[in-house]
Chains A and B, each alone.
Chain A
């Protein structure tokens, strides 16, 4: 019980760190540590398979995604954080808010006589997943496909930056071409001031 309490407190502290740390790299690391805490908690709450997933995907994959994003935008992050205080001074309020909320919840009291349904017999997760939740697996496959297309659209090639359609696009092209023709014409008509007759 004490162990759970300690893990929960560590989780909360890491989450606060992820929210509040100025440097987003440190924030991402705090998030990864929070994931590890959550994973340990899940082990203790009789959910080992979920714990492994949390560890490998959240503490692993998602942290990698965060790190890549931050490094792709890195030169800005440190500069901006220091100059523009993007995190906002309001964030200092957060720990106080959390403590206040905690106090409130403790005072309001926790109903311990909740009528919970009969505890079911423990089943194997794998059998549940494959035999009963096939629909979820199907949906998950679709989400992954959609995500695949998302990455494809967002990461391949340079952005065209043209959000207009059809005739408007053609008109813009024509206009741009005319503009560049004009400038070349104007340039060739100007007499060269350096030449003296």
Chain B
């Protein structure tokens, strides 16, 4: 693997896990429903970057891009449905607090 690819890989090995850390933290710790969605988006960005890097380092940029394009479309659909659920929740509870969604316990 040539020098340039090695450099890129070295940088990515540090940054991509950091993105994952931010994403996971965001999803787990927040109580705001919209921020949970933001966390999911951050995780998707991390994975998108990982896919692109995978394509770049192996030279299979076409395959990686095809996967990324499909992935982005699916992400958009999931976000739209999640937004729909959040808007409906707010209609019921008038709040974005996740603690309102704790009724099903036990």
Tell me, yes or no, whether A and B come into direct contact in the complex with CB atoms closer than 8 A: yes
Q: Bin the interface of chain B by size.
A: 35 or more
> Contact check: which of B11, B41, B84, B92 meets A155 at CB < 8 Å?
B84
- For B1-36 the 0/1 string (1 means CB < 8 A from A) is 100101111111111011101110110011110110
- Which residue of A is nearest B19, CB measured? A15
- Which residue of A is nearest B69, CB measured? A53
- For B55-75 the 0/1 string (1 means CB < 8 A from A) is 111111111111111101111
**Are A101 and B10 neighbours in the complex by a CB distance under 8 Å?**
no
Query: In the docked arrangement, what's the CA distance between A65 and B74, Å?
Result: 14
Interface residues contributed by chain A, number (CB under 8 Å): 86
Main secondary structure of the interface of A (DSSP, over half): helix
**Are B52 and A42 neighbours in the complex by a CB distance under 8 Å?**
yes
CB distance from B52 to the nearest CB of A (A): 5
Asked whether B83 is an interface residue with its Cβ less than 8 Å from the other chain, the reply is yes
Count A/B pairs, Cβ under 8 Å.
Answer: 250
CB distance from A31 to the nearest CB of B (A): 6
> Contact check: which of B18, B37, B95 meets A66 at CB < 8 Å?
B37
Enumerate 21 A-B pairs (CB-CB under 8 Å) in ascending A order: A18-B26, A19-B25, A31-B41, A42-B68, A45-B53, A45-B56, A46-B56, A47-B64, A47-B65, A53-B68, A58-B76, A62-B79, A69-B86, A88-B30, A91-B30, A98-B22, A102-B14, A102-B18, A116-B58, A132-B63, A140-B74
- For the complex of A and B, the 8 pairs showing the least CB-CB separation, nearest first, are A119-B59, A154-B84, A147-B77, A128-B62, A50-B68, A150-B81, A123-B62, A86-B32
- A residues with a Cβ closer than 8 A to B are 1, 4-5, 8, 11-12, 15-16, 18-19, 24, 27-28, 31, 34-35, 38, 41-42, 45-47, 49-50, 53-54, 57-58, 61-62, 65-66, 68-70, 72-73, 76-77, 80-81, 84, 86-88, 90-91, 94, 97-98, 101-102, 105-106, 110, 112, 114, 116-125, 127-129, 132-133, 136-137, 139-140, 143-144, 146-147, 150-151, 154-155, 159, 161
